[in-house]
Structure 1
Amino acid sequence: MCRVVLRRAAVESSHYDLPIALALLAAMGVTDAEQLTEWIAVGELALDARIVPSPGVLLAAIHASEAECGLICPKAQGAEARWVSEVPICAAPDLASLLNHLKGTQQLPPPERGEVEEPARGPDLKQVKGQETAKRALEIAAAGGHNLLMIGPPGAGKSLLASCLPGILPPLTPPEALEVSMVQSVAGTLEEGRISRARPFRAPHHSASMAALTGGGLRVKPGEVSLAHLGVLFLDELPEFQRAVLDSLRQPLETGSVDVARANAHVTFPANVQLIAAMNPCRCGHLGDAALACSRAPRCAADYQSKVSGPMLDRIDLHVEVDPVSAADLALPPPAEGSEEVAARVLAARQRQTARAEQTGVRSNSDLDGEALETFATPDEPGHQLLMQAATAMRLSARSYTRMLRVARTIADLAGAEQVGRIHVAEALSYRRQAPRA
């Protein structure tokens, strides 16, 4: 049995080092084997017997709580484990100190819980001049957790708009913060047990590999789509990503999880993300400007945009054109309404969704499906007629139809309306374009 455990440790992770060492010491009579049955141990051993950090201590603490056991972990990760308050934690710096503690000849101090980080202040919507349509789409996306694609020339403000999104999103609830921290713990990025209430915002470069985006590696770790769980995944220059890499996101965007299958592991990571993407209309970026567009326009636009598959575009709820900003717009004073005012409306809309969640069990409108979608997002008769006409004219797929209803429900929530009406359906349709078929 020891050989099997050692083989698993060598292949998967070194966090079995400490439990293997304790089992051997108990077999040799150095420590009490009966006492160890009350503990779950996780940690890597250095050559000098120091207990060094290893990924996943927060999950081990949660497992220990479910098993009604204590947790033995590295001292450096005691603050992380302490977030599971009902679990006895023994955070040891080295093997000798741990053995002395178990024998009662030395008392290791209980670890303190890690700090709650204050969210960093990012750009404010007051910095965005013009772009009223794009800002409205960003507000709808934030209120319902919807996916958003911004298409516009270079310098129009697409990246700035995306970077303003964290400032209008509601903070994570305590259970959500713990859920996000579990992913960070597995990835080894939860430093000193610090937990943040800010929603994750991940912006990988377009050269990212499939493993970097969805997870993988020899010792399988979460990718960017999981590190953005319950937050935002921002993909700038969308067509510049490899097509296979982009299409690997299709399943996570639909199911909220990603399955990573490797020869030595099969792992499912959470990936309930809000996708925000930005792209130029063509390679040169100036499709609508006759003075700046290349000689291949408009053919270059079709070639460039076809790099993103139709099924991928079908999973994006909101499509918005971001027009170039003129010098006259830049000279205007800042808008009166900024992130604070928009965040208040977003929070009010989310609170309406939270009230419905008691009946539906979904976090936001972007998750509405089945009976819950039919109950809460079915429009009134004028709205239904408009929807049927548009679905036929635009040849909406079943997925597009469902996502459009979710957006309409969010627009109604922002307006404080109980039922989805014609005006809400009309605005939702204005953000929907027919995706090219793959």
Structure 2
Amino acid sequence: MSYYKAPRRRYSNGRNFGVERQEESLVADILPRRPYGNRAPNNKWSRNLVWTASHGNNKPMKTDNTYASTRPQPSSVSNLLQRKKDAAYVQRSSYVSDRGSNDRGSPKSKECVCKFWKAGNCKKGDHCSFLHSWTSLPGMLMLASLEGHKKDLKGIALPQGSDKLFSASSDGTLRIWDCHTGQCVHTINLQAEAGSLMSEGPWVFLGLPNAVKAFNVQTSKDLHLNGVVGQVRAMTIGNGMLFAGTSSGSISVWKANDTDSDPFTYLTSLEGHHSGEVTCFVVGGQRLYSGSLDRTIKVWDLNTLECTMTLRQHTDAITSLLCWDQYLISSSLDGSIKVWACSENGSLKVTSTHRQEQSVHTLCGMSDGEGKPIMFCSYQNGTVSICDLPSFEERGKMFSTNTVGAITLGPEGLLFTGDKSGKLLVWNLAGTKV
């Protein structure tokens, strides 16, 4: 996209990414500590993440660009500060539900985590009827927990060309984590609630009330994008444009440019279509899909920015959208996941509906080590189901004490999840057969 060619200037108009009089210290910690010019060309975007240490025959996770909701970027991951997979590495703190502690030996017990194991004093060991793991999926490990946020995570971003992880929360803070140590190097008081966070190339985009902040981690370019009415709840990139959906139901649009002085030009606001808050986006082909609290999915032509369809099959708020292969997959608070396909007349029809026992909050797709598509589905009770596509057969689960509202893919099998309590967990799905 055009904005990969980032301008090479310092801060624009003296802006400092939401922190007063901290430009120099903030930039020093956000920018890579060593120039990328002394690295091998094919490793230009290496992030040197400590969490994806190589163990045995584990292979890097393959990525699949058929998933339109995520854009994993190439990375060569080093072994810095590699730790063994022991109790000190997979930390035993209370991130998993205690339910089922009296259900001795029942079939469901293996779907719950042993509360004694969490406390570090289960005496049954391998004979225990409950899980001694943060996940029931073979090959997946919970590697680290990053603590500091006080409320739900609204977005997790790993920008290209940076060794820093960004997270934004409704507690009004943006946190920046060092990927080498897992330590928080900066906590930025936004003076407002963060509604969403994403990255594209070297740019980090932060959704705020009535504005979007854009920051380039390579050049320190810092922009305040106006033209927004309401809290920004969702953002995405498509056809060289940035889209921001708001609590008012409008969608603001900026065009990415190659100019240093004006890398993003405000185009228009798409209004009068959604009657409720815009909750999610996904881009597939030449279409933009937007979901809303008004229970509808709008289909937009990326060339004309016109709304061409309204999908109304869900009975509650739309929570997440995913494009896979030739299909659109949607989730809702109505407890269903729907698969949409294009009919002969060009309209989208539901081909299958998968009913859940509780509301569905987030969808995320990736490919396993054999290139097979899998999907992560987070539910109200804090579990995240991992299932195969297109069969929807469940492979395993991940566990949390709170609803997981943010899931972001990283390089080489890395996965980041953020829940409603503010816990940010780092996972790794080994590229071996599971």
Sort the TM-score into its range (normalised by shorter chain).
Answer: under 0.3
- Structure with the bigger percentage of strand: 2
- Structure with the bigger percentage of helix: 1
Q: TM-score, normalised by structure 2?
A: 0.23
Q: TM-score, normalised by structure 1?
A: 0.23
Higher-RCO chain (CA-CA 8 Å, sequence separation at least 6): 2
Greater gyration radius: 1
